[in-house]
Chain A
């Protein structure tokens, strides 16, 4: 069973969550709580269960067992940009902002379909969608993938601001240098979550 760490103000609390896909166990039952001001990194080999756990925490995937409490708004950026390729970045932002009831203040956006953007631009749009409404809790799956060095630094600065402002960040990474940005590191091996 994974480590349970109780903080005074939980922005997310997952208890005994697990996930099976048919006969395959993608995620063993685990607990995870995220407190205000906290940054958590999830690492592990390909197929270990990181994305599955993050998707469950974000509410994009139902757990096979267990519960997840999210008392605050959650911003989620999946590993593969989740956006409409036929819509422009502005149209994507406007649609999801309208659905979430959040304002948008984006300027200087490319005026062509998202499918025609570079991989890095799509990833930035993916992150922008996660940041709509300035949610205090961010769940980001390999957020720096495809970003150039300048954009990566911008992102880390932004995430640091979120945590410093009483929010929390949980991100998946394959990059060990980025692990240093986290307060805690969770290792997922064959679906088992452990904190070192």
Chain B
């Protein structure tokens, strides 16, 4: 144990004297995390869609007695895509070159159909066959859905105005024609002035029933237009960048790169320096040497991981973000960082011993960590085989541990399960690394 501590102290001293390596070791995973974040945010980016207006949409049109600002409505509801107004030829060119991903055409006659309320106006969508086409179709469908809702409201208002006209009578407009309507109320008044009789009584009864029925039309018509209404509310919760998952992911990704690379390079470095032979002459056994690298990785993970958690926490507190940072869980997180760091360090030691030489070990470590990280991010529901495979590596267990430690209300089951995995993986990879070190030429 003393040998392990002495080698660990030496490694920490060597690390402290390699500021460039230290900066790269810390910066690289953070850059990778930022790039992954960018890719993730690209998934939410707005695709450019051309709006080809062949009908010369007016700024506003009258539907019923309601002014419908069509362009403003399109701009408002098109928040999922970036609409670029182009003529047809230019839009076709840009679609072919990939500068836009779809073409939304407002054909001639659109406004006329819209005004008439007699037939549905049509929009035309043309997309590429790229991977974004399904997403764009969905977003344009969402846009049309939103437009339909706006129009539906306008139509309902217009129809209700007609019903009001039928009930109360007066002057109105239908299909561009000015009309005078007697109204059911006035009709009933006129009928009351006439003498009673079975036939007139039937007409009076019909007028009364029609008045009652049309009087209830308001809510029914609105309900028919929107059978199910989704009410959205936005609370002041965390942004995506500060979410629990992102914090756990940033921690797991950073310490994975840091510790695997560090342990692999440190172990291979013993051979590069030529001291492996000297150490193995009864001074430090292969198991102790691996133990020192595992301890180095655990210490590095603990220090860097807590630093990241504190930085996250400070940002969250300064930004007064909903929920705050779970400071009381830091001891649990520290335990997870040390366990995950040790496990990743054992894996790194194995890679370092197999690679035999420092530069090769660093390269192998980077090449190994990337797929381990990405396979650990594949949801179990999407690819069960990937989940099984990733369970053989510490990244996924570290990620689960951090998530449970920081954000689950009742984390103990998950913590114990993941801790057991991490300890098991440390012992397994450590044993393999010990064998590889014992076979390593001096």
Contact assessment for B13 and A61 in the assembled complex, using a CB-CB cutoff below 8 Å: no
Bound: A129/B275 CA distance, A: 11
| B72 CB within 8 Å of chain A | no
A18-50 contacts to B (CB < 8 Å) = 21
Q: B234 at interface (Cβ–Cβ under 8 A)?
A: no
- Bound-state CA distance A84–B15 (Å) is 12
* Chain A proximity of B21: nearest CB distance (Å): 10
Which A residues touch B281, using CB under 8 A? Answer: 58-60, 74, 76
A86–B282 touching, CB < 8 Å: no
Quick check: is A195 within 8 A (CB to CB) of the other chain?
no
The reply to whether B442 and A55 contact each other, CB–CB distance below 8 Å, is yes
Distance in angstroms from A74 CB to nearest chain B CB is 7
Cβ of B284 within 8 Å of any chain A Cβ, yes or no, is yes
A95-103, A168-176, A184-192 - the one binding chain B: A95-103
A192 to B48 CA separation, bound complex (whole angstroms): 77
Closest CB of chain A to B151's CB: distance in Å? 73
Q: Is the CB of A95 within 8 A of B10?
A: yes
**Cβ distance A25 to chain B, nearest Cβ, rounded Å:** 15
How many chain B residues touch A (Cβ–Cβ < 8 Å)? Answer: 21
A104 to B140, CA, bound (A): 79
- Nearest B residue to A81 by beta-carbon distance? B274
Q: How large, as a class, is the contact surface on chain A?
A: 20 to 34
Quick one: which of A47-74 are within 8 Å of B by CB?
55, 58-61, 74
Confirm or deny: B14 has a beta carbon within 8 angstroms of a beta carbon on chain A. yes
Q: Is the CB of A82 within 8 A of B275?
A: yes
Known: A60-B277, A78-B278, A83-B273. Contact between A99 and B13, CB under 8 A?
Answer: no
Which residue of the partner chain, among A61, A83, A91, A129, contacts B442 with CB atoms under 8 Å?
Answer: A61
Residue-wise interface mask of B (210-228) relative to A, using a CB-CB cutoff of 8 A (1 in contact, 0 not): 0000000000000000000
Least Cβ distance of A112 to chain B in Å? 11
Say yes or no: B441 contacts A84, CB within 8 Å. Answer: no
Q: Let me know if B277 and A84 touch, CB within 8 A.
A: no
- A96 adjacent to B18 (CB under 8 Å): no
- In whole angstroms, how far apart are the Cα atoms of A64 and B277 in the complex? 16
Is there contact, CB below 8 Å, between B275 and A99? no
Let me know if B6 is at the binding interface, CB within 8 A: yes
Query: Which residues of chain B are near A61, meaning CB under 8 Å?
Result: 277, 441-442
Q: How far is the CB of B435 from chain A (nearest CB, A)?
A: 13
Among residues of A, the one whose C-beta sits closest to the C-beta of B278 is: A82
Q: Which residues of B contact A100 (CB under 8 A)?
A: 283
Name the A residues within 8 Å of B388 (CB-CB): none
The distance in angstroms between the C-alpha atoms of A78 and B14, with both chains bound, is 22
Q: Is the CB of A58 within 8 A of B17?
A: no
Residues of B within 8 A of A (CB): 3, 6, 10, 13-14, 17-18, 273-284, 441-442
- Closest CB pairs A-B (n = 6): A60-B277, A82-B274, A99-B283, A86-B14, A59-B281, A60-B442
Q: Which residues of A contact B (CB under 8 A)?
A: 21, 55, 58-61, 74, 76, 78, 80-87, 91, 95-96, 98-100, 113, 129
List 7 interface pairs A-B (beta carbons < 8 Å), by A numbering.
Answer: A58-B277, A60-B278, A83-B273, A83-B274, A87-B14, A99-B3, A99-B284
